[in-house]
Amino acid sequence: MMDAVEKPVVNWGILFKDSVIAAIIAFGLFALMLGLKTDQALNNQMVLVGRPGLLAAVVGLVFVARLMTGYWQASRAGRIAPAKKTSSSAMMLKIEKFGLPVAVGFLVAYPIFVLATAGPQGAIKWIDNFGIQILIYIMLGWGLNIVVGLAGLLDLGYVAFYAVGAYSYALLASSEPIKEFMAQLIGEGFWQVWAFWICLPVAGILAAFWGVLLGFPVLRLRGDYLAIVTLAFGEIIRLVLINWVDFSNGYAGISSIPRPSFFGTPFTAGEDGFAAKFGLEFSPIYRTIFLFYVILALALVTAAVSMRLRRLPVGRAWEALREDEIACRSLGINTVNTKLTAFAIGAMFGGFAGAFFAARQGFISPESFVFLESAQILAIVVLGGMGSLLGVVIASILLVGGVEVLRELDFLKLYFGDGFDPAQYRMLIFGICMVLMMLWKPRGLISAREPTVFLKEKKVVSSDLVKEGHG
Amino acid sequence: MEVFVQQLINGVTLGAVYGLIAIGYTMVFGIIGMVNFAHGDVFMISAFISLIVFMAITAFAGMSGGVVFLALLVALIVSMVITSLYSWTIERIAYRKLRGSFRLAPLISAIGMSILLMNFVQVAQGARNKPIPPVMRDTINLFERNGFQVAISYKQVMIIAVTAILLGIFWYVVQKTPLGRAQRACEQDPKMAALLGINVDRTISVTFIMGAALAAVAGTMFLTYYGVVVFSDGFTPGVKAFTAAVLGGIGSLPGAVLGGLLIGLIETFWSAYFSIDYKDVAAFSILAIVLIFMPQGLLGKPEVEKV
């Protein structure tokens, strides 16, 4: 009988002891790192500044947190776990199924909604910082999802392909010889206007080419070795971009990259500009809205392609490979080719996103393609649930949007003093999220998946039933 | 010839630092089969702790010769203790629960931990370079030929000597004590070791602590050698030390030291004879080449893939 279960006894003595130990450890960890700050005095000498208040607050926080988690665990200890609801993963799938169209519908309506509520002046920030920024990460997340989520290849150098795309577009679009050649061939000003639309596919193809080139030697390696080699490749590409000044202009980067046009009509204030042609008053908002829809379209193409590919033989091979590589090989799947397609297609979408990034910024430098960027994209895929498209959207909104919200929290300075900059905590929060997510749900927020092949009846595969592979 | 000898000295010094960090990677990989991506940042934290302790002591006691030496010694010991505590905590919080999880989970958790540590230091200590006042600037002139002086600084002597002594102690612990035997047993077969009464969890914790203590030695040496540390300093030395561990054969302790020395030498000779700009490219290329063509390394055992 359920009543027979005794109410769990919380042993406060042990709990208190545990918390004190946790607090002592926290004191040991933070006494030097938080309690003392190294600072530069006016005469350029290094001095130490004590911060006992901060240290006490953090240690106290650890004590309370340990006490609370300990109590929570103890009060649940005697409880019989309720029968596992099988519907939870079915529900998750339903969310995935209906959530995606809803999310897409929301995204399509987003600029119009913002424009209506915030007006043309206020809307730029919301569309550019929130909308476009998040969409770039959604696109990158979906691209990396093909590699990590579907094929199970941990790629820590995805930013390399992003960089290849960005630099291909930037170098091609701002190259003088091509511009002159095009001017002679078709007409003056043609390249300036059409560069984006011509270079976008080229950037994607070049990135895919690099994907094959880098992927070919490394794909024989297993999980974590592959991850480290891709990290090395990502860093090599960045370091070459920094050091090969003749090619990429080094640290200084490439500026005044041609901006995308509305299919031949530039967004300028002049007579043949977009605004004049459509009888509108000139405003930079049109370009922003247009860029928003371009990246939305690119992202949706990525999603559509990865959804379709999942159902093709190659996609099934990817997922099989993710679950068990040895079984795949013994069933006659060509693992190298299968991995290579995943790598190349993922790289291609990274290249598209890179070209878009370069066109949107108008300026790129190697600073934008550091390892942390790769880690950030990976965090989005992992947090969202590897293989889940909607999960990537949710994770991007939470992480990237959350960072942008942090920037807006200037009022916190009133409480924490002038030196307090909420934005500097963003990567800290990123790191915490990644660790907590792995501890709490290693398979991500949306972890149930619909099988692509089934016998008689479609059954949802809950994440707990999926045996983890050794890929 | 003179340049060669001088670079040899510099390379061995650098290699000692890499070797010390590499041991942490190789031990953890050997025992639980994961790449402890946060190890480089643990190394960076140890340098910061040394810096703070050193500054705290010299702020009270001045900068005379004896005090500096004592301050460095205290900084080294405090840094070893606290860095071990960091590593132990990291293992308890971020890795232990994931030991049975799918293969990439610990690696992703470790990457998260690495980002967390790096940004924790940035938030706690600021993003600027943190210099220490130059210490032990004297050098010993070895010989002079064709107007080029080959010299070894006291710092370099200290780094090489401390590394050698600590490696000796470490070697003794792993080979001759019950603790080391337990560690080697867990490395070979954790389940069997547990059946025979070895506390596997504790042994793994000790592994993390030992790796961190050696990383703390490297961190203190790094700080005195370069005289400056910054929050992002964990990444590149971390990757290079991992390269060293892989080059020497991951899981093999002498391999890690050998790999560290090789990487240090390659880096210094590359900077001296080719181009200093591409020295990191060289290190990363070696990592890729070794992993692709020689994943078992120089002294490692070839790995058999099991179902």
Tens digit of each residue's pLDDT (9 = 90 or more) over A383-434: 887 778 888 888 888 888 877 777 776 666 666 666 666 777 878 888 888 8
Residue A255 lies in a domain: yes
Residue B109 lies in a domain: yes
Tell me the ipTM for this assembly.
0.85
For residue B177, pLDDT beyond 80: yes
Per-residue model confidence (pLDDT) at position B170: 87
Q: CA nearest B275: which of A367, A242, A371, A171? A: A242
Tell me how far apart the alpha carbons of residues B214 and B88 are, in angstroms, rounded to a whole number.
14
Token pair listed for A183? 């001017």
Token pair listed for B251? 């899981």
Amino acid at A74: A
Per-residue model confidence (pLDDT) at position B303: 63
Q: Chain B contact for A464, CB < 8 A?
A: no
Look at residue A188 and give its three-state secondary structure: coil
Q: ∠ CA(B37), CA(A235), CA(A232), 5° rounding? A: 55
Contacts of B55 in chain A (CB under 8 A): 38, 46-48
Contacts of A37 in chain B (CB under 8 A): 124-126
In the structure, what pLDDT confidence band is assigned to residue A450 with cuts at 50, 70 and 90? low
Tens digit of each residue's pLDDT (9 = 90 or more) over A201-210: 999 999 999 9
Tens digit of each residue's pLDDT (9 = 90 or more) over B254-287: 889 999 999 999 988 888 888 777 888 888 888 8
Per-residue model confidence (pLDDT) at position A1: 44
Per-residue model confidence (pLDDT) at position A345: 93
In the structure, what pLDDT confidence band is assigned to residue A102 with cuts at 50, 70 and 90? confident
Closest B-chain CA to A47? B55
Q: Which residue would you say has higher pLDDT here, A322 or B202?
A: B202
Domain final residue, candidates A16, A46, A77: A77
**Subunit contact B56:A431, Cβ cutoff 8 A:** no
Cβ under 8 Å to B: A residues 27-56: 28-29, 32-34, 36-40, 46-48
The pLDDT > 90 percentage for chain B reads: 30
Q: Chain A contact for B82, CB < 8 A?
A: yes
Q: Residue B111: which of A223, A375, A428 has the nearest Cβ?
A: A375
Residues A336 and A224 occupy one common structural domain: yes
Residue A14 lies in a domain: yes
Q: Residue A438: which of B45, B105, B295 has the nearest Cβ?
A: B105
Average pLDDT of chain A is: 80
For residue A233, pLDDT beyond 50: yes
Mean pLDDT across B88-109: 86
Mean pLDDT across A278-298: 81
Q: Chain B contact for A406, CB < 8 A?
A: no
Closest A-chain CA to B121? A33
Q: Shortest Cα distance from B120 to chain A (angstroms)?
A: 6
Residues A47 and A156 occupy one common structural domain: no
Average pLDDT of chain B is: 87
For residue A463, pLDDT beyond 60: no
Instruction: Find the range with the poorest average confidence among A158-162, A224-228, B105-109, B134-138.
Output: B134-138
Residues A161 and A298 occupy one common structural domain: yes
Q: Chain A contact for B242, CB < 8 A?
A: yes
Q: Residue A223: which of B103, B111, B115 has the nearest Cβ?
A: B103
Cβ under 8 Å to A: B residues 83-112: 85-86, 89, 93-94, 97-98, 101-109, 111-112
Residue A328 lies in a domain: yes
Residues A62 and A129 occupy one common structural domain: no
Residue B259 lies in a domain: no
Closest A-chain CA to B46? A33
Per-residue model confidence (pLDDT) at position A16: 87
**Subunit contact B239:A235, Cβ cutoff 8 A:** yes
Tens digit of each residue's pLDDT (9 = 90 or more) over A302-348: 988 988 888 888 888 988 888 788 888 899 988 888 999 999 999 99
Per the structure, the complete domain to which residue B206 belongs is given by 2-138+149-234
Closest B-chain CA to A149? B104
Q: Which residue would you say has higher pLDDT here, A309 or A449?
A: A309
**Subunit contact A442:B98, Cβ cutoff 8 A:** yes
Per-residue model confidence (pLDDT) at position A93: 67
Residue A370 lies in a domain: yes
Contacts of B48 in chain A (CB under 8 A): 33
Per-residue model confidence (pLDDT) at position A412: 66
Instruction: Find the range with the poorest average confidence among A129-143, A156-170, A261-275, B226-240.
Output: A261-275
In the structure, what pLDDT confidence band is assigned to residue A469 with cuts at 50, 70 and 90? very low
Per the structure, the complete domain to which residue A27 belongs is given by 2-77
Asked if B2 and B240 touch (Cβ cutoff 8 Å), the reply is no
Cβ under 8 Å to B: A residues 224-243: 224-225, 227-229, 231-233, 235-236, 239-240, 243
DSSP A65: H
Per-residue model confidence (pLDDT) at position A391: 84
Size of interface A-B (CB pairs under 8 A): 181
Radius of gyration of chain A (CA): 26
Tell me how far apart the alpha carbons of residues A435 and A432 are, in angstroms, rounded to a whole number.
5
Q: Residue B125: which of A37, A425, A438 has the nearest Cβ?
A: A37
Token pair listed for A207? 């990135």
Per-residue model confidence (pLDDT) at position A32: 86
Q: Shortest Cα distance from A286 to chain B (angstroms)?
A: 38
> In sequence order, what are the residues at sequence separation of 6 or more whose Cβ sits closer than 8 angstroms to the Cβ of residue A123?
A111, A114, A115, A285, A288
Closest B-chain CA to A330? B307
Per-residue model confidence (pLDDT) at position A167: 92
Contacts of A227 in chain B (CB under 8 A): 35, 104, 107
Token pair listed for A241? 């971009």
Cβ under 8 Å to B: A residues 352-391: 371-372, 375, 378-379, 382
For residue B175, pLDDT beyond 90: no
Tell me how far apart the alpha carbons of residues A206 and A237 are, in angstroms, rounded to a whole number.
14
Closest A-chain CA to B94? A435
Residues A202 and A282 occupy one common structural domain: yes
Per-residue model confidence (pLDDT) at position A467: 45
In the structure, what pLDDT confidence band is assigned to residue A4 with cuts at 50, 70 and 90? low
Residue B196 lies in a domain: yes
Q: CA nearest B36: which of B106, B118, B89? A: B106
Residue B275 lies in a domain: no
Q: Residue B51: which of A28, A38, A438 has the nearest Cβ?
A: A38
Residues A244 and A330 occupy one common structural domain: yes
Instruction: Find the range with the poorest average confidence among A139-143, B164-168, B200-204, B273-277.
Output: B273-277
Residue A457 lies in a domain: no
In the structure, what pLDDT confidence band is assigned to residue A470 with cuts at 50, 70 and 90? very low
Tell me how far apart the alpha carbons of residues B183 and B190 are, in angstroms, rounded to a whole number.
9
Contacts of B120 in chain A (CB under 8 A): 33, 428
Residue B279 lies in a domain: no
Asked if B56 and A48 touch (Cβ cutoff 8 Å), the reply is yes
Residue B289 lies in a domain: no
For residue B187, pLDDT beyond 90: no
Per-residue model confidence (pLDDT) at position B75: 92
Residues A134 and A65 occupy one common structural domain: no
Token pair listed for A324? 């068990």
Per-residue model confidence (pLDDT) at position A457: 63
The pLDDT > 70 percentage for chain A reads: 82
Per-residue model confidence (pLDDT) at position A353: 93
Which helix (H) or strand (E) element contains residue A366?
A: none
Residue A448 lies in a domain: no
Tens digit of each residue's pLDDT (9 = 90 or more) over A303-316: 889 888 888 888 88
Per-residue model confidence (pLDDT) at position A471: 34
Per-residue model confidence (pLDDT) at position B306: 52
Residue A84 lies in a domain: no
| Partners of A47 in the β-ladder | A39
Q: CA nearest A427: which of A366, A367, A379? A: A379
Tens digit of each residue's pLDDT (9 = 90 or more) over B115-166: 999 999 988 888 888 888 777 777 777 777 777 778 888 888 888 998 889 8
Contacts of B126 in chain A (CB under 8 A): 37-39
Residue A253 lies in a domain: yes
Q: Which residue would you say has higher pLDDT here, B43 or A13?
A: B43
Mean pLDDT across A143-164: 90
Residue B270 lies in a domain: no
Per-residue model confidence (pLDDT) at position B81: 94
Residues A24 and A115 occupy one common structural domain: no
Query: How many domains is chain B built from?
Result: 1
Q: Chain A contact for B8, CB < 8 A?
A: no
For residue A82, pLDDT beyond 70: no
Residue B32 lies in a domain: yes
Q: Residue B130: which of A38, A430, A435 has the nearest Cβ?
A: A38
Residues A105 and A65 occupy one common structural domain: no
Radius of gyration of chain B (CA): 19
Query: How many domains is chain A built from?
Result: 2
Residues A380 and A406 occupy one common structural domain: yes
The pLDDT > 90 percentage for chain A reads: 11
Contacts of B287 in chain A (CB under 8 A): 228-229, 232
